[in-house]
Amino acid sequence: MAKLSPSSRVIHALDVDSLEKGLEIVEKVSPYVDGIKVSYTLLYQHGISSFEAICENTSLPVIADLKLADIPAIVKRLSEKVLEAGVDGVIVHGFCGRDVVEACIEEAEKRGAMVFVVAELSNPGAVEYMKGMGERIARMALEAGAYGVIAPATRPDSIARIRRVVGEEMVIISPGVGVQGAEVGDAILAGADYEVVGRLIYQAPDPAEAAKKIAEAIRKKASS
What letter represents residue 15's amino acid? D
Whole-angstrom distance, CA of residue 181 vs CA of residue 188 = 15
The interface with a second copy within residues 48-67 (CB under 8 A) comprises 48, 66-67
Nearer to a second copy, 15 or 186 (CB): 15
Among 77, 110, 164, 220, binds a second copy (CB under 8 A): 77
Applying CB under 8 A, the span of 108-116, 124-132, 184-192, 201-209 interacting with a second copy comes to 124-132
Strand partners, 12: 36, 197
Applying CB under 8 A, does 127 fall inside the site for a second copy? yes
Applying CB under 8 A, does 99 fall inside the site for a second copy? yes
Among 21, 52, 97, 213, binds a second copy (CB under 8 A): 97
Q: Of the residues 3, 21, 37, 67, which is catalytic? A: 67
Do residues 95 and 133 lie in contact, with contact meaning Cβ atoms separated by under 8 Å?
yes
DSSP 52-85: HHHHHT-SS-EEEEEEE-S-HHHHHHHHHHHHHT
Among 6, 7, 27, 44, binds a second copy (CB under 8 A): 44
Do residues 175 and 122 lie in contact, with contact meaning Cβ atoms separated by under 8 Å?
yes
Whole-angstrom distance, CA of residue 20 vs CA of residue 31 = 19
For residue 131, indicate whether it is catalytic. no
Among 8, 122, 158, 174, binds a second copy (CB under 8 A): 122
Torsion of Cα atoms, 152 then 155 then 161 then 166, to 10°:
10
Residues with active-site annotation: 67
Instruction: Return residues touching a second copy (CB under 8 A).
Output: 15, 17, 39-41, 43-48, 66-67, 69-74, 77-78, 81-82, 93-100, 121-130, 133, 136-137, 140, 175, 179-180
